[in-house]
Amino acid sequence: MSHLAAVATVDLDETGWLLDADSGEPVPAHRLRDYFAERLAPPAWATDILVYVHGWQTPPGSALRTAERLLALAHGNVATAPAQYPVLVAESFDPWCVVVRWPSSSLATPAGYRRIRDRAHAMGARDGRGHAAHILGRLLGYLHAERTDPGAAPVLANRDGQYLHLVGHSFGCRFLCEAVQWAADAQLDDTLGWSEVGLSSSRPFTADSMLLFQMAARRDAFLSLFPYILPSEAHDGAPLRGPVVATYSRHDRATGFWHLRAERQSGIGHSGIGPAPAPMFTTRLLPLDQRYPLSALDHRFVNIDASDVYVRGRRLNPAGAHSDHIRPESAHLLLTLANYSR
């Protein structure tokens, strides 16, 4: 089923603070929850809530269209290959997407890439000047509190449940990871999770999956920057109950050639997640006619080699295939994660 209001938008300024959609002015801190309630109340018809944060070189209109295309591909996959997602088909799949937009445009040059890299870092920094982690963490906490609890629904019957999935691209992946880690310091009730990775959580929200397309960050980011987004012996409980799944492609020059020179190592979007706080599982991005076994995705960290699929880049664009993730195969992966979240 499709809905006219299947996509909502949230706009951040260069510091990561929330902007009012009508006035363009910053929303006062004391009005954040009221603003979310007025603009972003999860609709009753939605079975799944997606939060999509775009990456580099994405104007606001393009961010909205990208999310709409990804939803259209997902609906198309369910219609053409329903046997791949048996639980989604049994329960129905009606996603509602919140698109988080931020100022990401620059010249398509190495200097432009570094400029947005530095902006993304400043927006997410927890030093009192960057607010993206705080705002997105508050947003995710609101969505978690307002959605109906999937755990309350009978098995294989999701009439009353809404599942929360986090989807990022490029630098947008960093914002999501910052937001999840920001929430690792507060507390609220938990929901249950995946068999291997779903440990109990007492955090302000729990997300059912995190899918990171072509992440623009160092390969060791989940050790150096985001060590607490999943439960560990050193940090019991975290807001993410599903796996961290990251795609990579050797044709992604933005996180390959450029990232190597800017960070002295290639990025996750080019070479996959490297050292991490938990064991890594690596598999490839599958076509629509092949099903991912649960054993391939039921891990804390999963690298998805998309080098055979993410190959295209706009002519003369030095970023290569960095933005070639809006594909049926990507929707297939997203739907599989949603299917296994049930």
pLDDT at 108: 72
Tell me the backbone φ, ψ of residue 213, rounded to 5 degrees.
-90, 120
Q: Would you give the distance in Å from CA 94 to the centre of its chain? A: 18
What mean pLDDT do residues 275-290 have?
94
Say if CB 97 and CB 52 are below 8 A apart: yes
Confidence of residue 63 (pLDDT cuts 50, 70, 90): very high
Asked if residue 17 has pLDDT above 90, the reply is yes
Model pLDDT for residues 81-96, shown as the tens digit of each residue: 999 999 999 888 899 9
Q: For residue 146, name the pLDDT band (cuts at 50, 70, 90).
A: confident
- With beta carbons less than 8 A apart as the criterion, state whether 176 and 212 touch: yes
Percentage of the residues of the chain whose pLDDT score is greater than 70: 80
Q: How far apart are alpha carbons 144 and 166 in whole angstroms?
A: 12
Q: Could you give the CA distance from residue 114 to residue 265 in angstroms, rounded to a whole number? A: 14
Element (H, E) at 49: strand 48-53
Tell me the per-residue pLDDT of 311-321, one tens digit each, with 9 for 90 and over. Answer: 986 655 666 78
Closest residue by Cα to residue 239 from 164, 183, 168, 300: 183
Longest dimension (CA), the chain: 53
Looking at residue 129, its pLDDT comes to 80
Q: What is the pLDDT, as a whole number, of residue 124?
A: 82
What does the pLDDT read at residue 118?
A: 86
Cβ–Cβ under 8 Å, residues 321 and 252: yes
Task: State pTM to two decimals.
Answer: 0.88
- Of 69-78, 188-197, 298-307, minimum mean pLDDT range: 188-197
Segment among 104-113, 145-154, 271-280, 282-291 with least mean pLDDT = 145-154
Contact of 40 with 8, CB cutoff 8 Å: yes
Q: Is the pLDDT of residue 330 over 90?
A: yes
Distance (Å, whole) CA 183 – CA 204: 6
pLDDT tens across 231-265, in order? 555 555 567 778 999 999 999 987 876 666 666 67
How much is the mean pLDDT over the chain? 83
pLDDT digits (tens, 9 = 90+) for 185-208: 554 333 223 344 443 444 445 788
Q: Give percent of the chain above pLDDT 90.
A: 53
Nearest to 102 by CA among 165, 166, 168, 58: 58
Q: Is the pLDDT of residue 151 over 50?
A: yes
The residue with greater pLDDT, 66 or 256, is: 66
CA–CA gap between residue 338 and residue 200 (Å, rounded):
19
Phi, psi of 72 (to 5 degrees): -65, -40
Q: Is the pLDDT of residue 335 over 50?
A: yes
Q: Which of 163, 85, 113 has its CA nearest to residue 333?
A: 85
pLDDT in tens, 114-124: 888 888 888 98
pLDDT given at position 190? 30
Dist CA 214 CA 111 (whole Å): 19
Q: Is the pLDDT of residue 43 over 50?
A: yes
Q: What confidence score (pLDDT) does residue 236 get?
A: 52
Chain centroid to CA 253: 21
Which runs of consecutive H residues, i.e. helices, occur in the chain? 32-39, 60-80, 86-91, 110-124, 132-146, 171-182, 221-224, 259-263, 268-271, 294-297, 328-341
